[in-house]
Structure 1
Amino acid sequence: MIGKLKGTVDTVEEDCVTLDVHGVGYVAFCGARTLAGLPGAGEAASLFIETYVREDMIRLYGFASAAERDWFRLLQSVQGVGAKVALAVVGTLSTGDLANAIALQDRTMVARAPGVGPKVAARIVAELKDKAPAFSGAAAAESFGLKRDLGEGVAPAPIADAVSALVNLGYSREQAAGAVAVAVKEAGEDGPSTTLIRLGLKALSR
């Protein structure tokens, strides 16, 4: 079983990279974000690997981090999500953005991944809402892992508005969601958006 490869980049194609490890070329299928982050041909690179062994083939999937590989595995625990869809999701969203999307029950963000329709996105955010924090390592996911019904896969308006306001101020979605998560802990789940924004900005300034 191959868990990690370290070598030099040989060729990069649309959906995979060939990594030369001591003269042996390993083909690893990767998401778009991982492929975009690879160095040029002949330069050193390392990938965390998930090895799939089938009766008629062996396929390697490559990831920039162990957390990304963990998400790839976790996503496939969702009904209707196979390796292709899981790779598309981690290839579109960073681990932090994916954690936030699930914590906020933001199926629209998950549906940005190629081949992920609204129904699959809804299943992903619903089925992983209690599992995601253990894998994300993100403060936002841990804080937003609240036991509550978010209705039709949409975050409560004050929380969504507060996150949107902080993003409009120039913070990344991950930073904004993490800050609002801290604010929710202080103000309570029913806190108004103005209070969440104020407390969120306070958290970001620390």
Structure 2
Amino acid sequence: MIAKLTGLLDDSGPDWAVIDVAGVGYLVHCSVRTLEALGERGGRATVFTDLQVSENDMRLIGFASGAERDWFRLLTAVQGVGSKVALAILSALTTEELQRACAGGDAAMVARANGVGPKLASRIVNELKDKAGGLPTIPGGAAPAAAPAGSASADAVSALQNLGFKPAVAASAVAHAMGELGEDADLDVLVRVALKKAAG
């Protein structure tokens, strides 16, 4: 499966872009936020991708970040949410806003997206409430800043990764734990609190 494309932004429209990778143009359907992140036509662009296959269609969906792709996959697992609706939601809300809405049961926030009625918004929020804590809360879907090597936070991130957590989840959990405990937190305590947040 194609997981990521890096090439030149050849062309784009309201909900799609063509990425030229070594002379092959890949049509990717994107949210408005991803299209904005791709930059100017002719510039270098990278998109994380997900291949959607149905009986009569195959389409490549593109994302500016891995976090956005994770949320797309969660959204499309909800009954009644296809790729179009999921992209509309990701166009209306950042991944951070979406996580906050699901964790807090705020269906009205999700209903701001085009084509999402109150009933569907409630279903999305109810089904994803428990899963929302498992994804990193990253403002706008950007990656968290790397902790300085040798610092307690870097060691804590490494410890969580050794326990099987993905780098983004580990970094996000440690950042949240640091926020609670303060910069001079003891490594053992930091790992324990971050572990609770990552497992959340």
Q: TM-score range by the shorter chain?
A: 0.5 to 0.7
State the partner residue of 1:33: 33
Q: Quote the residue 2:114 is aligned against.
A: 114
Query: Which residue type is aligned with residue 60 of structure 2?
Result: L
Gaps of 5+ in 2: 140-175, 181-200
**How many angstroms apart in 2 are the aligned matches of 1:139 and 1:103?**
14
3-state SS of 1:50 partner: strand
- Quote the Cα distance in structure 2 between the aligned partners of 1:63 and 1:8: 15
Per-residue CA deviation, residues 67-119 of structure 1 (Å, 9 max, x unaligned), is 10010000122221111111111121111010001111111110111100111
> Aligned to 1:11, what secondary structure does the other structure show?
strand
**Paired amino acid for 1:99:** Q
User: Is 1:84 aligned to residue 79 of structure 2?
Assistant: no
Structure 1 stretches of 4+ with a deviation exceeding 6 A read: none
Any residues of structure 2 matched to 1:191-202 within 5 Å, and which? Answer: none
Quick check: 1:138 aligned with 2:137?
yes
For residues 1-150 of structure 1, the aligned pairs below 5 Å read 1-135=1-135, 137-138=136-137
TM-score normalized by structure 2? Answer: 0.67
CA distance in 1, matches of 2:42, 2:21: 11
Alpha-carbon shift at residue 54 of structure 1 (Å) = 3.5
Give the aligned residue type for 2:28: A
2:110 maps to amino acid = V
RMSD: 2.0
CA displacement 1:32-51 (0-9 Å, x = unmatched): 11112221111001000001
Deviation at 1:53, TM superposition (A): 2.7
Question: What count of residue pairs does the alignment treat as equivalent?
Answer: 142
SS in 2 for 1:134: coil
Q: Which amino acid aligns with 2:118?
A: P
On the 8 A contact 2:110/2:116 being kept in 1, the answer is yes
Distance change in 2, residues 1:139/1:47 (3 Å): closer
Change in Cα spacing, 1:139 to 1:85, as seen in structure 2 (3 Å) is closer
Q: Which amino acid aligns with 1:58?
A: M
CA distance in 1, matches of 2:49, 2:106: 28
